[in-house]
Structure formats: structure tokens, C-alpha cells
Amino acid sequence: MAFKGRKVSGRSLALLGLGIAALLVLVWGGDALSWARDNRVVLVQALVTGLLLGGVYSLVSMGLTLIFGVLDILNFAHGAFMALAMYASFVLVANAGFDPYLSLLVSVPLLFVLGVLVQRVLLARVMDQPHENQLLLTFGLALLIENALLMVFTATPRTVEFPYAQTGIPLGFATVRGPLDVFGAVADLPRVIAFLGSLVIAGGLFYLLRRTSLGTAIRAVAENPDGAAMVGIDVRRMHMIAFGLGTACVAAAGTLVLPFLSLQPTTGEQFNVIAFVVVVLGGLGNVVGALVGGILIGLVQELGGAFVPGVDKLFFVFVVFVLTLLLRPQGLFGGKP
């Protein structure tokens, strides 16, 4: 069901585009075009913001979809794991003077191990049980983590400073100072770094899944657990690793956004909601779908907000969500339902 190479369905993309275009025409008719001419900067800014944010959405969603693809579990604790990683990084930065980006070296392995343990100790016990039990277990785990964070760190918002705010980023030949100018729009440096970091990590995940024997084994388990077991793959082990990898992805995303978001125990929740939309849009269990879907959702959110000021940006995200469920429930990259 997942990770098989699939082409983007032209029909589904066309439908999606058509839906959005129809919506725009319905609401403004020809006004939209002249409005866009007058508000070039607003539009470009929406594109830039949407793209940058979309990259982070992708990384969060990839972890979620990987877990679903391999273990067939919708992990409601995904956002809570993100918050946990953010607090881990926060402690390193605030108490040990780490560079926030260097703290990736701790938060990502830490959450990988935690993911493996959670799968081994908790989820492994309910793998054969009905879906509800797994959902409730991960949901309970989310509440547990969030409230534990609340107990330890209180709800006081924490912030971590962007380390290169004053000095700029030395690149050898030049020093990059933020914010960058993109055709009149601005791109904040920490957001650009989060976007690029997300792409790099996504690339690493693809490499691992496609080019290594471990990745092949994971994909085999996702495709057909019984068959994989028959040829000698340790299915339980692959489940553990997949869950660990999914959690590591969201940990990386959390640490990457830390320099520009303030942190509270519930910070992960907002990403959790978006990630579910992205995963459905991209096709459940499809990692490529999550990457494209994340960026698409980021763009939809920001462009929608720019075209229709006064409406919440997430309105358009959920319009796309509902359209996807109606027109192509298997998602853009999913096969036949």
C-alpha cells in the first residue's frame, strides 16, 4: 500500500487546482487578477511564507505517514513527541548553552530511542487489537506527555534565541544576514534554515528507505508483513525502527522551528492537526505524498489568507481537506482506495 513508486495522478492534481480556481472565481470573479497585480508583494510574501512553513509541515507529516504506512497506526501522540523534543532542545540551549541547531544531535537520537521504546513497551501490545485501542493508547500517551511537560516546565511560554541574529551566518565567502529579500518579500533566516533542514532530512529519509537494506526491509513490512516475515525479516524490529524514525522526524522538525516559535506544552498540537490533513492529502502512508502535501498545504494556507483577508487561513486548508476526502479519498499519491 505504501512506498511503491507511484506517479502523481494528473487527474487529481487537476481536480485540486480546478477546485481552488473555481473557488477564487466564485468569490471575486475578475477582481482577483487586478487585485493580484496591485498587491504583488503581498502575494509573493504569501508564496514565500507558505513555502517555508510547508517544508516544516512536510517533515512533521512524513513521520506521521511513515508510522501509519508501516505500523498501520494513526499516532495521535505525534505532536506531543514534537513538544518533547523541543523541550529537550530548549533545556540544552538554556542550561548548557548549546547552539539550537547543534541540539539536533541530541533531540533526534533521543526521540528515536524513545519512539523505539514506546513501540516496544506500549504499542507492540496492541498491534493485533482493534484500531480504536491503538488510537486511544496514542491519544492517552499524548495527554500524558503534555501534562508531564506542564508539570515540569509549567505553561510559561519559552523562547530560544536565533543564534545568528546579530552576527549573520558566515559562509566563508560572505556573511548572510537576515531577513533575506525575495522579490520584495522577506524570508526570515531561521525559517529558511528550518525549510532547508527539512529538505535535507527528508532526503536522508528517502535515501534510507530506497537505497539501504534496512529501508527495503521496512518497505517490505509495510507492503506485506506476513510475506516479509516469511523471507526472514524481523517484523517486530522493523515496527520499532519505523516508529523510532517517525518520531525522529518530528523531533527534527520541532528543534528546527524552536528559534522562531515560542514553546508551550501544547505547541505540538497545532502541527498535529495540519499533519493529519497533509497525510490525507498526500495519501496515507506515502512519504513522497507527505513532502508534496506539506508544501501544498503551506501554500494553500498562506495564499488563501492573502486573497481573502478576514478569513482564518486554516479555512482553506480544511476546504482542501474536505475536497480531498470527497474527490480523491486515497490522496494525491495513493493508489485505488
Q: Which of 215, 246, 265, 289 binds other proteins (CB under 8 A)?
A: 265
User: Per-residue x/- mask for other proteins, residues 243 to 262, rule CB under 8 A?
Assistant: --------------x--xxx
**Using rule CB under 8 A, residue 89 touches other proteins:** no
Q: Answer whether 248's CB lies under 8 Å from 112's CB.
A: yes
Binding to other proteins by residue 220, rule CB under 8 A? no
Could you say whether residue 53 binds other proteins (CB under 8 A)?
Answer: yes
| Cβ nearer to other proteins, comparing 272 with 286 | 272
CB of 295 to other proteins, least distance (A): 14
Q: Does 309 bind other proteins (CB under 8 A)?
A: yes
* Window 156 to 195, contacts with other proteins (CB under 8 A): 156-157, 159, 161, 165, 178-179, 185-186, 188, 191
Residue 88: all three cell numbers together: 529537550
When binding is defined by CB under 8 A, the residue of 42, 122, 199, 214 that contacts other proteins is 42
**Spatial contact of 239 and 81, defined as CB atoms under 8 Å apart:** no
**Contacts of residue 327, Cβ cutoff 8 Å, sequence gap at least 6:** 12, 15, 16, 19
Q: Is 335 helix (H, G, I), strand (E, B) or coil?
A: coil
The piece of 12-20, 40-48, 120-128, 281-289 that touches other proteins (CB under 8 A) is 40-48
The torsion of the CA quartet 70, 75, 81, 83, rounded to 10 degrees, works out to 140
> Does 217 sit near other proteins (CB under 8 A)?
no
135 in contact with other proteins (CB under 8 A): no
Chain centroid to CA 320: 17
Among 64, 72, 80, CA closest to 133: 72
CB of 266 to other proteins, least distance (A): 5
Q: Is 117 exposed, middle or buried (0-12, 13-18, 19+ CB in 10 A)?
A: middle
Q: Which amino acid is at 243?
A: F
273, 276, 279, 285: CA torsion to nearest 10 = 140
- Site membership for other proteins, residue 46 (CB under 8 A): yes
The verdict on 264 binding other proteins (CB under 8 A) reads yes
Q: Quick one: 102 or 150, whose CB is closer to other proteins?
A: 150
Distance CA(91)–CA(98), nearest Å, equals: 9
**Chain positions contacting other proteins, by CB under 8 A:** 39, 41-42, 45-46, 48-50, 52-53, 147, 150, 154-157, 159, 161, 165, 178-179, 185-186, 188, 191, 257, 260-262, 264-266, 270-271, 273-274, 302, 305-306, 309-314
